C-alpha cells in the first residue's frame, strides 16, 4: 500500500435549492480541505461535484496518517526548579508527573531569558480514519444553510433530507455515521433513468461511473458547458441566437442531472407584447432560454432543458408550450388594457399610494421630484421642461396592469407606454433609465434628462427617509436602500462628470414641501449627518476602486463638497505619489502641521519680505508667493494633478529651509514671519489635500 490514496465524500439528498447549490458545493470543499490541513493530514488537489441530489468532493493523494511529531513542553525555570539542597520543587515534580516521566528524564534548554526544564516526546501521528469523520462533521456544520430541516423520526438537521453517504479513502470505507446514516461506497443513479445503487470501487472512478452507468453528470462545470452547447446548437438550427444569462444558466444547471435541450414555440401574435415581459416570464417563471434574431428581436421560440431523455420528446415540448400560453395571454391582455388610457391618467391614483407615513403619497413624492429635477436640469444644462415631464410621469407605470403583473418591469413599461402616448423620446427613455444603476457595476443613465431625474429621485428619497422620517440605515438594516441610492448619486455625478455641489443639492431637496407636520422640526445637524453619510458611501466607492485609505482621508480633511472635485483630488494624489518628491513633501507637511498645531491663538499669515534674512527662507518665500498666483487658476479648474506637479518643485527649497532656518527663533518678529511662510506653504497643499495624513 502506498502512503497516500484519493478520498471521496458524497452526500446524497433530496433536490437541493438550485440557487444555493454552487455556494454549498464550494463551501463544502473549502471547509473539508481546511479541516484536513488543520489536522496536519497531507492532501493534494480537491475537485468539487454538485448536482441536484448530491454534493461531493474528491481529494487527491490524502495521506493515510499524519507524521509523527516531536512535542516539547516547557516546565519551570531552572533557577526556581530546585531548593538550596538540590531537591526538586513541588512545581517541578508536578510538571514531571503530568508528562509521565521522572524529574531526571527532563532536559534543559537555553533561552535569552535563562535556562528552562523541558520534556520532549515523540507523538505518534493520527490515522486518516480518525481525522476524516471530524473534518466531515466540521465541514457540514459550517455550510451556509441558515434554514435546516428534520425528516422522519430523526433529530438530524440538514438543508434537505439525506438518503445516502459515501466516504471512501482508497478502497477503504470510512466507517462513521454521518447525519444519521452509515457511510459506505454506494451511490445512486438518475432518479428515472437509473434509480438503483452504483458501487464505487475507487474514488477517482466516481464521476465516470455516474456518467456511463448512472445517467448523472456530477461535474457542475461539465454539465453547464453541455447545456450551453446544446442550447447554442438548437438555436442555430432554428435560425436564432439564444439569450444565455449566467445566473439562469447556473440555475438550470442546478436543476438537472442529465440535460436534454428541447425547443418550444408560441404564437407570433404574442410578440405584440413588450419583449421584456415575455422574456421575464420565460426566464423567471419557466427557466426557458429566449431566442432573438440578428436584429435582437424576439423570436416565437424558446429552449428548455429537460432532466430526462424522453421516449416522446414531442410530448415534453407540448407540455412546456402549454404552461407558458396562459402567462403570455395575460400579458397581452394587460398590455392592451394599459394602452386604452395615457400614462398620465395614472397620476391621480398615485395620491392613494403611501410612499412613507411622514413623506406622504407617491403623488407627493412625484411633485417633490419634479421640483428637484427642474433644478438639477438647469444646473447641468438639460432641457428643463423635458426633465420635469419625465419626473411627472416617473411613477405612473406603477399603477399599470403590466407592472402589477410584472413588478420587475417598472420603468421599462413606463418607457413603452410613454412612447405609445407620443411623449418625447428623451422623456420615454428617462422613465426607464432613471432606475440605473440598479445594481453594483450597472450602467448609468445616458442622457442629461435621465440623469437629472435619477439624481432627483434618489436625493428626495435620501433627504426624506434619512432626515425627515429619521430612518437612518443601521447595521444590515436598510429597508429603503439608502446606501444604494447614495452610491447611485455619487456614481452619476462622478462618472458622468457632473460638477454639482452635494451639500447644496441636499439643502435644496430638504426645502421641499414634505407633508409631515413636524418635517421642519428636524435637528440642526441632520443635514450634516446626511452629508457625512454620503461621504461614507464615497469612501466605500473609492475603496472598491483601489484608492488607498490614507489618500481618501487626506482629501476628506479638506471637506470638498463636490463629488467630482473630490474624485479629481483623489486621482491627483495618486499621481503625486508616483513622483520622487512625494515622500519628502508628505513628511514636510507632517512637520509643518505639527509646528502649527502647537501654536496658541491666531497664526500669522502676512509675510514681511524685509524680515526674510536667511537665503533658504528667501528662496522658499519666493517660490510660495509665485505659486500662489500660478496655482489659483488650476485650483479653479480642478487641475489638481498639474498643481501638485508644480508644488513638487518646492521640495529642494523646503528641505533647505528646514535644514538651515530656525523656525521658532527667539526674535518673535522673525518667528512670526517664518510661521506665516509655513502657513502659506501648507495652505497651498491644503488647496488639494492634507498631505500630512499620507502614510509615506
Structure confidence by residue, pLDDT tens digits, 599-657 = 766 677 788 888 888 899 899 989 999 999 999 999 999 999 999 999 999 899 988 98
What value does the mean pLDDT take over residues 690-695? 89
Q: Which pLDDT score, from 0 to 100, does residue 521 have?
A: 42
170 Ramachandran zone, left/alpha/beta (phi>0; psi -120 to 50): left
The domain 345-546 is placed in CATH, from the list 1.10.3470, 1.25.40, 1.10.10, 1.10.3210, at 1.10.3210
pTM for the complete prediction?
0.81
CB under 8 Å to 637, separation ≥6 — which residues? none
pLDDT tens-digit readout, 66-94: 877 777 788 888 877 888 778 888 888 88
Q: How far apart are CA 195 and CA 258, in angstroms?
A: 13
HEC string of 610-663? Answer: HHCCCHHHHHHHHHHHHHHHHHHHHHHCCCHHHHHHHHHCCHHHHHHHHHHCCC
CB under 8 Å to 130, separation ≥6 — which residues? none
Q: How far apart are CA 234 and CA 271, in angstroms?
A: 21
pLDDT tens-digit readout, 496-515: 999 999 999 999 999 988 88
**309 φ/ψ angles, rounded to the nearest 5 degrees:** -90, 95
User: In terms of pLDDT, which residue wins out, 588 or 79?
Assistant: 588
**Contact, 67 vs 40, CB < 8 A?**
yes
| Range name among 191-200, 362-371, 416-425, 588-597 with the lowest pLDDT average | 588-597
| Range name among 45-59, 121-135, 232-246, 377-391 with the lowest pLDDT average | 121-135
| Range name among 125-129, 325-329, 456-460, 643-647 with the lowest pLDDT average | 125-129
pLDDT tens-digit readout, 434-450: 999 998 889 999 999 99
Question: 517 pLDDT band (50/70/90 cuts)?
Answer: very low
The domain 564-693 is placed in CATH, from the list 1.10.730, 1.10.287, 3.30.1360, 3.40.50, at 1.10.730
679 has pLDDT over 50: yes
Label residue 117 exposed, middle or buried (CB < 10 Å: 0-12, 13-18, 19+): buried
Q: Which pLDDT score, from 0 to 100, does residue 65 have?
A: 86
Q: Cis peptide before 421, with omega less than 30 degrees from 0? A: no
pLDDT tens-digit readout, 100-119: 888 887 888 888 878 888 88
- Kindly state the cell numbers that stand for 636: 479653479
In the Cβ-directed half-sphere of 547, how many Cα atoms lie within 13 Å? 26
Provide the CA 6 distance to its chain's centre, in angstroms: 36
Q: Which pLDDT score, from 0 to 100, does residue 642 have?
A: 93
**Contact, 216 vs 52, CB < 8 A?**
no
Residue range 4-66+127-212 in CATH 3.30.70.260: yes
Q: Which pLDDT score, from 0 to 100, does residue 325 have?
A: 95
Q: Do the domains 345-546 and 4-66+127-212 match in fold? A: no
CA distances 534 to 133, 267, 462, 504, 686, Å, are: 50, 50, 10, 13, 22
User: In terms of pLDDT, which residue wins out, 553 or 519?
Assistant: 553
Q: Which helix (H) or strand (E) holds 221?
A: helix 220-237
Q: Which pLDDT score, from 0 to 100, does residue 146 have?
A: 72
524 has pLDDT over 50: no
Please report, for the chain, the start and end positions of each structural domain, with discontinuous segments joined by +: 4-66+127-212, 69-122, 220-338, 345-546, 564-693
For residue 260, the cross-strand partners are: 306
Per-residue b or e along 253-286, where b marks 16 or more CB atoms closer than 10 Å to that residue's CB: bbbbbbbbbbbbebeeebbebbbbbbbbbbbeee
What value does the mean pLDDT take over residues 353-361? 91
Query: Which segments of 197-259 are extended strands (E)?
Result: 197-199, 241-242
Q: Which pLDDT score, from 0 to 100, does residue 152 have?
A: 83
In the Cβ-directed half-sphere of 64, how many Cα atoms lie within 13 Å? 9
Q: Which pLDDT score, from 0 to 100, does residue 225 have?
A: 98
Q: How many CB atoms lie within 10 A of CB 132?
A: 24
Q: How far apart are CA 149 and CA 134, in angstroms?
A: 22
User: In terms of pLDDT, which residue wins out, 278 or 518?
Assistant: 278
Question: 526 pLDDT band (50/70/90 cuts)?
Answer: low
In degrees, rounded to 5, the angle at the alpha carbon of residue 280 between the alpha carbons of residues 274 and 281 is 100
CB under 8 Å to 366, separation ≥6 — which residues? 347, 350, 391, 392, 394, 395
Amino acid at each position: 500500500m502506498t502512503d497516500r490514496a484519493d478520498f471521496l465524500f458524497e452526500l446524497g439528498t433530496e433536490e437541493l435549492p438550485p440557487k444555493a447549490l454552487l455556494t454549498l458545493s464550494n463551501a463544502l470543499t473549502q471547509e473539508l480541505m481546511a479541516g484536513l490541513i488543520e489536522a496536519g493530514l497531507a492532501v493534494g488537489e480537491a475537485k468539487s461535484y454538485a448536482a441536484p441530489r448530491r454534493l461531493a468532493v474528491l481529494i487527491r493523494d490524502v495521506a493515510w496518517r499524519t507524521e509523527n511529531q516531536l512535542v516539547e513542553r516547557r516546565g519551570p525555570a531552572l533557577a526556581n526548579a530546585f531548593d538550596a539542597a538540590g531537591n526538586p520543587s513541588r512545581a517541578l515534580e508536578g510538571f514531571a508527573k503530568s508528562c509521565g516521566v521522572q524529574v531526571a528524564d527532563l532536559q534543559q534548554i537555553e533561552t535569552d531569558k535563562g535556562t528552562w526544564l523541558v520534556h520532549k516526546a515523540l507523538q505518534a501521528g493520527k490515522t486518516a480514519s480518525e481525522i476524516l469523520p471530524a473534518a466531515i462533521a466540521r465541514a457540514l456544520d459550517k455550510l451556509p444553510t441558515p434554514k435546516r430541516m428534520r425528516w422522519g423520526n430523526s433529530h438530524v438537521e440538514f438543508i434537505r433530507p439525506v438518503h445516502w453517504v459515501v466516504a471512501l479513502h482508497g478502497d477503504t470505507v470510512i466507517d462513521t455515521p454521518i447525519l444519521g446514516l452509515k457511510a459506505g461506497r454506494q451511490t445512486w443513479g438518475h432518479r428515472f433513468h437509473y434509480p438503483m445503487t452504483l458501487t464505487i470501487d475507487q474514488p477517482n472512478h466516481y464521476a465516470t461511473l455516474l456518467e456511463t452507468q448512472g445517467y448523472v453528470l456530477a461535474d457542475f462545470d461539465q454539465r453547464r458547458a453541455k447545456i450551453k452547447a446544446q442550447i447554442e446548437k438548437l438555436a442555430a438550427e432554428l435560425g436564432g441566437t439564444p439569450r444565455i444569462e449566467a445566473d439562469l444558466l447556473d440555475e438550470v444547471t442546478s436543476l438537472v442531472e442529465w440535460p436534454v435541450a428541447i425547443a418550444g414555440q408560441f404564437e407570433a401574435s404574442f410578440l405584440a407584447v413588450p419583449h421584456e415581459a415575455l422574456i421575464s416570464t420565460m426566464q423567471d417563471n419557466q427557466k426557458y432560454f429566449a431566442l432573438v434574431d440578428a436584429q435582437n428581436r424576439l423570436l416565437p421560440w424558446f429552449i428548455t432543458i429537460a432532466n430526462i431523455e424522453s421516449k416522446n420528446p414531442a410530448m415534453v415540448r407540448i407540455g412546456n408550450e402549454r404552461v407558458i400560453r396562459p402567462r403570455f395571454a395575460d400579458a397581452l391582455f394587460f398590455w392592451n388594457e394599459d394602452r386604452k388610457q395615457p400614462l398620465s391618467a395614472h397620476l391621480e391614483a398615485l395620491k392613494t399610494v403611501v410612499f412613507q407615513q411622514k413623506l406622504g403619497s407617491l403623488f407627493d413624492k412625484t411633485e417633490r421630484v419634479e421640483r428637484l429635477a427642474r433644478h438639477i436640469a438647469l444646473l447641468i444644462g438639460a432641457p428643463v421642461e423635458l426633465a420635469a415631464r419625465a419626473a411627472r410621469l416617473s411613477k405612473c407605470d406603477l399603477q399599470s396592469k403590466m407592472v402589477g403583473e410584472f413588478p420587475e418591469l417598472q420603468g421599462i413599461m413606463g418607457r413603452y407606454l410613454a412612447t405609445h402616448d407620443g411623449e418625447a423620446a428623451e422623456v420615454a427613455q428617462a422613465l426607464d433609465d432613471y432606475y440605473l444603476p440598479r445594481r453594483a457595476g450597472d450602467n448609468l443613465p445616458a442622457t442629461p434628462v435621465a440623469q437629472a431625474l435619477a439624481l432627483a429621485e434618489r436625493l428626495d428619497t435620501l433627504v426624506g427617509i434619512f432626515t425627515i422620517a429619521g430612518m437612518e440605515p443601521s447595521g444590515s438594516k436598510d429597508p429603503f436602500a439608502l446606501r444604494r441610492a447614495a452610491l447611485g448619486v455619487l456614481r452619476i455625478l462622478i462618472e458622468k462628470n457632473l460638477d454639482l455641489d452635494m451639500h447644496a443639492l441636499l439643502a435644496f431637496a430638504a426645502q421641499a414641501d414634505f407633508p409631515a407636520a413636524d418635517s421642519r422640526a428636524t435637528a440642526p445637524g441632520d443635514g450634516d449627518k446626511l452629508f457625512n453619510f454620503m461621504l461614507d458611501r464615497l469612501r466605500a466607492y473609492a475603496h472598491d476602486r483601489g484608492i488607498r485609505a490614507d489618500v481618501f482621508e487626506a482629501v476628506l480633511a479638506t471637506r470638498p463638497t463636490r463629488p467630482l472635485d473630490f474624485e479629481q483630488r483623489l486621482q491627483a494624489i495618486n499621481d503625486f505619489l508616483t513622483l520622487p518628491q512625494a515622500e519628502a513633501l508628505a513628511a514636510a507637511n507632517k512637520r509643518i502641521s505639527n509646528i502649527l498645531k502647537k501654536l496658541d491663538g491666531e497664526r500669522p499669515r502676512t509675510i514681511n519680505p524685509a524680515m526674510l534674512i536667511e537665503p533658504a527662507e528667501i528662496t522658499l518665500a519666493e517660490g510660495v508667493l509665485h505659486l500662489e498666483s500660478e496655482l489659483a487658476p488650476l485650483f479653479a479648474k480642478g487641475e489638481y494633478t498639474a498643481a501638485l506637479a508644480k508644488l513638487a518643485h518646492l521640495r529642494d527649497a523646503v528641505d533647505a529651509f528646514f535644514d538651515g532656518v530656525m523656525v521658532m527663533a527667539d526674535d518673535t518678529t522673525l518667528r512670526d514671519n517664518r510661521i506665516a511662510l509655513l502657513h502659506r506653504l501648507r495652505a497651498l497643499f491644503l488647496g488639494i489635500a492634507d498631505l500630512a495624513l499620507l502614510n509615506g
